[in-house]
Chains A and B, each alone.
Chain A
Amino acid sequence: MSVLEIRNLHATVEDREILKGVNLTLRSGEIHALMGPNGSGKSTLAYVIAGHPHYEITDGDILIDGESILEMEPDERTKAGVFLAFQYPVAVPGVSVANFLRTAVSNVRGYTTRPVEAEGRSGVIGSNLMPMREFRRELTDKMKEFNVDPSFARRYLNDGFSGGEKKRTEVLQMAMLEPKFGILDESDSGLDIDALRVVSDGINKLATPDRGFLLITHYQRILNYVKPNYVSIFYGGRVVMTGGPEVAHMLEEKGYGWVEREFGEAVAA
């Protein structure tokens, strides 16, 4: 049982404040939907949790089980159990999915920091990665489970992938890295109904009692497939309302215009 806690978080980019006092608690086993209009700062929150260097934290804290992660590099946060599924995963030319993922998994599971086996292979690059066969087997199994074509292992990361393929590959990576907390930044955006179903299935498979999800979305649509325990409305750089699934329904009925009328003044103040 783990807790990801965001306390009064303020963040700026180029002296402009984007996050204005975010408070949010995510526990293992919970799915917490964070809904808000474009430009409300939802994606910034996701990036800040993952440690993107572009943003400056001016106040507040992010804690995992009581320990602040603010001083951690992005890779250390990943090792601490945070996984960000990107809204727009970048294409990295020449880096194959399998190659990079083996290094990633080896780091996160601690292979790379284990003392090199006493076979005199020290110094050989790749000698302390997860064993190739073991990794291959697991990757193949998970590709099957998460509906990713096996050929993607050899393809270059997100290079020439369709929107749906990118999002599915993000879910696959999450399945391989087995985080404590998945931050899903608009994993539903740009997907047709079939792709949305595949991605949602993947998330549901990974929604085990030992894992929490922050499901960031603009639309109520994905919540037909992934059932949240909590829904928060994000507006003007902070959480303005939190409740059960009924909040999403209310939002769909009333629209983001209602949010603006209701909370616009409070945020501006």
Chain B
Amino acid sequence: MSVLVKEPEAIMQSVQGFSEDTVRAHSAARNEPAWMLEFRLDAWRQFETMPWPSANDEAWRRTRLTGFDIANFKPLAVSSGTVEKAELSRLLQEEINEMDSAASMVFEDSSLRYSVFHAKLSECGVIFADLQSAVREHPDLVQKYFMTKAVKPGLNKFTALHAALWDTGTFVYVPAKARVTLPLQVILNQVSDGVGGYHHTLVVTEEGAEVTVVDDLLGAKDGMQASVVELVIGNSSVVRYMNLQDFDHSAWNFLTGRAVLGRDADLRWIQVSWGSRLTKAFLDVDLQGTGGHAELLGIYFPIGHQHIDHQTLQIHRAPHCFSDLLFNGALKDKSRSVYMGVIQVFPGAQKTDAYQRNGNLILDATARADSIPGLEIQADDVRCTHAATAAQVEEEYVFYLMARGLSRAQAERMIVQGFFQAVLDRVPVESVVHKLERVIERKIGG
């Protein structure tokens, strides 16, 4: 094909609709190697053969895609090149300034917009790159790990779409024994209205490596985002991952994330779902090596007509693993939340220690929270507990605090904040905690 005689922007401007041609044009515009084009085309074929989710699918029974039509979106945003920090929006500059990070990348629409790195990172052999460049510069590593170990393209309709059209993305590789003490910060801002976005996060750590990665997801007005998160965590490696989703309340958001843990690996995943019109998030931790430790912690706070759905899987394949899941959500107005979770213990995964808790604080009688916990246990020497609660603000708490001089509004705000505190206490980056507190404050007030 000779498409490269055109400018990439021109190629993408001419793209219309979701089709194999769009996939080819997208790959060509990015000057991708043949293997990536093949990978995309294969995923596209899978996407085309898979049916759209229907109400008959257990996973989609409580989250209907009423009003969702992929034909309503432009398949891809047109990228507009990199800029200096000062040219970023004030909001993004503040986000970068507030976090004491080892490196930052900002993506806007379908490409890298800005990045800043500390030189020390590469001296230690750490790769923190935008995925588009990594495909060219680290083909062996990307080919080995990209959608092969954690999330495969055929997992669901949206992962197939993602694999065919992924646009922005981060590749993090931390070699054995390397420790990145400050967080790596990634901001995705889907600026254009009504477009599809497919953000990818691929984190690979080798034995004993340590890293913290923060994904900030913004924008996507009237658009769609089908993102994938893959954490491939080596033996005795420690990973802290935060996915902070604060999309526009008109966005359709589909996230599939999975962490694969080696022996004695240690993961803490913080999932924050503030934004979007509708979110369906599949989040799995897959404990493949003995002695793994996984924490999956989530908070959500839908208001208005927002619909937020988290579906989790704690997979215990190996013995002596620990997993702790806590999802706490508050709901206002006519919002809805769904939590579905399964702890899966394979035969032989003895001495499994697994917890799963979902708490819902219903602030308005018109809001609704569904919680469906589950256990599938095929080993006999395990400890697994699950619990789900849905409650209103305790009047006795309110009275107690008012009897100390707090107004009703102050008391309720404090109780709601307190409800999120069990997760906030475990967020390892201080600037993130402050940001989350501000959003909670705003959501309670507005």
Query: Judging by beta carbons under 8 Å apart, are A92 and B403 in contact?
Result: no
Residues of chain A within 8 A of B414, CB atoms compared: 92, 95, 99-100, 103
The answer to the question of A214 belonging to the interface, with a C-beta cut-off of 8 Å to chain B, is: no
Q: Mark A46-84, 1 if CB is under 8 A from B, else 0.
A: 000011110000000000000000000111011100011
Cross-interface CB contact of A75 among B394, B395, B405, cutoff 8 Å: B405
Q: Which of A53, A89, A125 contacts B395 (CB 8 A)?
A: A53
Cβ 8 A contact of B421, one of A89, A94, A101: A94
B422 interface residue (CB < 8 Å to A): yes
Most buried by A among B402, B405, B406, B407: B405
Q: How far is the CA of A144 from the CA of B282 in the complex (A)?
A: 50
B397 interface residue, CB < 8 Å from A?
yes
Q: Is the CB of A100 within 8 A of B422?
A: no
Of B400, B405, B417, the contact of A177 (CB 8 Å cutoff): B405
Q: Which of A74, A125, A173 contacts B402 (CB 8 A)?
A: A74
Is residue B149 within 8 Å, beta carbon to beta carbon, of the partner chain? no
Q: Which residues of B contact A50 (CB under 8 A)?
A: 403
Kindly name the residue among B395, B410, B422 whose own CB sees the greatest number of chain A CB atoms within 10 A.
B410
- The number of chain B residues touching the other chain, given as a range, is 20 to 34
Residue of A nearest to B438 (CB): A125
- Residues of A contacting B415 in the complex (Cβ-Cβ under 8 angstroms): 92, 95
A86 touches B400 (CB 8 A): yes
In the assembled complex, the CB of B395 is this many whole angstroms from the nearest CB of chain A, namely 7
Q: A224 to nearest B CB, angstroms?
A: 28
The complex places the Cα of A201 from the Cα of B2 at a distance, in Å, of 90
Asked, given contacts A90-B397, A100-B414, whether A173 binds B404 with beta carbons under 8 Å apart, the answer is: yes
| Interface size, chain A (Cβ < 8 Å) | 31
* Contact code string B407-423 (vs A, CB < 8 Å = 1, else 0): 11011001101111110
The distance in angstroms between the C-alpha atoms of A168 and B70, with both chains bound, is 61
Taking CB as reference atom, which chain A residue is nearest B397? A92
B408 touches A75 (CB 8 A): yes
A198 adjacent to chain B (CB < 8 Å): no
**Least distance between B280 CB and chain A CB atoms (Å):** 28
B404 lies within 8 A of A78 (CB): yes
Minimum CB–CB distance for B415 against chain A, Å: 6
Query: B394 and A90: CB pair below 8 A?
Result: yes
A108-124 contact mask (Cβ, 8 Å, vs B): 1 or 0: 10000000000000000
- The answer to whether A93 has its CB under 8 Å from any CB of chain B is yes
> Is A93 touching B404 in the complex (CB atoms < 8 A)?
no
Assess whether B421 is in contact with A104, with CB atoms less than 8 Å apart: no
Which residues does chain B contribute within 8 Å of A78, judged by CB atoms? 402-405
Whether, in the assembled complex, A156 has its beta carbon less than 8 Å from a beta carbon of chain B, the answer is yes
A34 vs B224: C-alpha distance when bound (angstroms) = 66
Q: Within 8 Å of chain B (Cβ to Cβ): is A107?
A: yes
B402 surroundings in chain A (CB, below 8 A): 51, 73-75, 78
B392, chain A: closest CB distance, angstroms: 15
Q: Are B395 and A95 in contact (CB under 8 A)?
A: no
Question: In this complex, which of A51, A73, A94 has the most chain B Cβ atoms within 10 angstroms of its Cβ?
Answer: A94
A89 to B419, CA, bound (A): 18
B410 (CB) vs chain A CBs: closest residue: A103
> Given the complex of chains A and B, what is the CA–CA distance between A220 and B41 in angstroms?
85
B404 x A104 contact (CB < 8 A)? yes
Pairwise interchain contact A92-B404, C-beta atoms closer than 8 A = no
Q: Which chain A residues border B400 with CB–CB below 8 Å? A: 86, 89-90, 92
Are A177 and B399 touching (Cβ within 8 A)?
A: no
- CB-based contact B417/A95 at 8 Å: yes
Contacting pair B397 A94 (CB below 8 A): no
Chain A residues contacting B411 (CB-CB under 8 Å) are: 75
**Nearest CB of chain B from residue A30's CB, rounded to whole Å:** 22
B433 in the interface, Cβ–Cβ < 8 Å? Answer: no
Verify if B87 is at the interface (C-beta below 8 Å from A).
Answer: no
Closest A residue by C-beta to B407: A75
| A residues in contact with B418, CB < 8 Å | 92-95, 156
Q: Measured between alpha carbons, how far is A53 from B396 in the docked complex, in Å? A: 10
Complex alpha-carbon distance, A112 and B367, angstroms: 32
Contacts of A108 in B (CB 8 A): 405
CB-CB under 8 A from B422, the residues of chain A are: 93-94
> Nearest A residue to B394 by beta-carbon distance?
A90
- Chain A residue at smallest Cβ distance from B418: A94
Tell me, in angstroms, the Cα distance from A86 to B404 when the chains sit together.
11
B439 to chain A minimum Cβ distance, whole angstroms, is 12
CB neighbours (8 Å) of A74 from chain B are 399, 402-403
- Among B399, B411, B420, B422, find the residue whose CB has the most chain A CB atoms closer than 10 A: B399
CA distance in complex: A27, B408 (Å): 29
Instruction: Specify which chain B residues have a CB less than 8 angstroms from the CB of A107 in the assembled complex.
Output: 405-407, 410
Contact with A84, one of B403, B420, B441 (Cβ below 8 angstroms): B403
**Chain B nearest CB: distance from A126 CB in Å?**
10
A181–chain B nearest beta-carbon distance, Å: 13
With contact pairs A75-B407, A104-B406, A107-B406 given, residues A92 and B401 touching in the complex (Cβ less than 8 Å)? yes
Partner of A93, one of B396, B399, B406, B419: B419
Q: In angstroms, how far is the closest chain A Cβ from the Cβ of B131?
A: 38
Cβ-neighbour of A125 out of B396, B420, B441 (below 8 A): B441
A258 to B404, CA, bound (A): 38
Knowing A94-B420, A95-B421, say if A52 contacts B399 (CB, 8 Å).
Answer: yes
Q: Which residues of B contact A125 (CB under 8 A)?
A: 441
B176 CB, nearest partner CB in chain A, Å: 38
Complex Cα distance, B399 from A103, in Å, reads: 15
> Which residues in window 139-196 of B have CB below 8 A to A?
none
Q: Is the CB of B421 within 8 A of A100?
A: no
Hey, which chain A residues are within 8 Å of B407, CB to CB?
Answer: 73, 75, 107
A111 to B401, CA, bound (A): 17
Closest to A100 in B: B414
Once bound together, how far apart are the Cα atoms of A1 and B405, in whole Å? 22
Shortest beta-carbon distance from B8 to chain A in Å: 45
CA distance A94 to B422 in the complex (A): 6
B402 to chain A, nearest CB (A): 4
Nearest A residue to B417 by beta-carbon distance? A94
Complex: how many Å from CA A41 to CA B244?
A: 52
Q: Supply 19 A–B pairs (Cβ within 8 Å), ascending by A.
A: A51-B402, A74-B403, A75-B403, A75-B405, A78-B402, A78-B403, A78-B405, A79-B405, A90-B397, A92-B400, A94-B417, A95-B401, A95-B415, A95-B417, A95-B418, A100-B401, A103-B406, A105-B405, A177-B405
List the 4 shortest-distance A-B pairs measured between CB atoms, nearest first.
A94-B418, A94-B421, A74-B402, A95-B418
| Known A74-B402, A92-B400, A95-B414; further 6 A-B contacts with Cβ < 8 A | A83-B403, A86-B400, A92-B401, A94-B418, A101-B404, A104-B406
